[in-house]
Amino acid sequence: MTVINCAGKLLDLSSPVVMGILNITPDSFFDGGRYTTHISILQQAGKMIDEGAAIIDVGAASSRPGASFVSVEEEIQRIKPALKSLVNHFPETIFSIDSASPEAVRAAVGEGASIVNDISGGGVDDVMFKTVAALKTPYILMHIQGTPATMQKEPHYENATLEVLDYLIKRTGALRGLGVKDVIIDPGFGFGKNLAHNFELLSKLSVFQILDVPVLAGLSRKSMICQTLHISPSKALNGTTALNMLALQNGAKILRVHDVKEAVETVKLFSQYIFYNK
């Protein structure tokens, strides 16, 4: 059984769980601008918690392809009041901070966030790993090629699975060396990968269990769905559900999604399937 200690709250990952995405930004690729007021942030968090989210992932700086730079000061100004209110209203919920900034991470953990979700894998600021070690929080280590501004400009790999795996092995080792106990890995679907790379990684997702840490799959409404089906992100819920089931079959323990209800139902059906096929 894998149990992650989130500032005293224990997250049991022996069965898969759902992480709800709460973007408090004006420019995220799917829900930008929807949750920027105090009331809308609380309402959306409450909705996802009621639908069964085990974690709420709060982000105050967009990481969509071509995203504009947001200063650390602005990110902190967005994140601190939001997290303070969220933790106050939902004290039993686990909140993660979606940020590549050590300063923003420290501010968020100070307001009650208890997981760090870093899309840069520590690559934006080499102080991040030491910061996480000092804060003693679980850390979600994601692979990215390039930066959000450049990552989709002709990404290239000789062997996507092996290169992503090698990166995650090395970075996990570095985190362990600093004393970070709870590491979760994310292959980074859509972050410096083209359509072929994304589907290769999904088909080989079980390979990442070699690290013996939980695997997070962030497939929600992403370009691999939209490009394949020739639809916009607003039409990509059904495709998200289909790929989430494949991710679960290949060992994912956390589904990071915009649509919690559908993901929770997918996990329940998957768990029932596993139960009857022991």
Q: What pLDDT, on the 0 to 100 scale, is given for residue 38?
A: 87
Q: What is the 3-state secondary structure (H, E, C) of the chain?
A: CCEEEECCEEEECCCCEEEEEEECCCCCCCCCCCCCCHHHHHHHHHHHHHCCCCEEEEECCCCCCCCCCCCHHHHHHHHHHHHHHHHHHCCCCEEEEECCCHHHHHHHHHCCCCEEEECCCCCCCCCHHHHHHHHCCCEEEECCCCCCCCCCCCCCCCCHHHHHHHHHHHHHHHHHHCCCCCEEEECCCCCCCCHHHHHHHHHCHHHHHHHCCCEEECCCCCHHHHHHHCCCHHHCHHHHHHHHHHHHHCCCCEEEECCHHHHHHHHHHHHHHHHCCC
Q: What is the largest CA-CA distance in the chain?
A: 51
- In the block, tokens 């992403």 appear at 222
Residue pair 198/152 in contact (Cβ under 8 Å)? The answer is no
- In the block, tokens 């909705």 appear at 47
Reference 52, options 82, 21, 19; nearest CA is: 19
Residue pair 251/15 in contact (Cβ under 8 Å)? The answer is no
Residue 87 vs residues 45, 57, 60, 94, 157: alpha-carbon distances, Å: 10, 12, 16, 9, 41
Q: What pLDDT, on the 0 to 100 scale, is given for residue 61?
A: 81
Q: What pLDDT, on the 0 to 100 scale, is given for residue 159?
A: 95
Residue 133 vs residues 53, 139, 207, 216: alpha-carbon distances, Å: 26, 9, 27, 20
Q: Which residues are marked as active site? A: 222, 256
- DSSP lists the bridge partners of residue 185 as 141, 215
- DSSP lists the bridge partners of residue 113 as none
How do 139-142 and 115-118 pair as beta strands?
A: parallel
Q: Tell me the pLDDT of the chain (278 aa) as tens digits.
A: 589 999 999 999 999 999 999 998 775 544 545 667 889 899 999 999 999 999 999 998 876 665 566 789 999 999 999 999 999 999 999 999 999 999 999 999 999 999 999 988 987 777 999 999 999 999 999 999 865 555 567 778 999 999 999 999 999 999 999 999 999 999 999 999 999 999 999 999 999 999 999 999 999 999 999 999 999 999 999 999 999 999 999 999 999 999 999 999 999 999 999 999 87
The total of other beta-carbon atoms located within 10 Å of residue 70's CB is 17
Measured at the CA of 244, the angle between CA 129 and CA 238, to 5 degrees, comes to 130
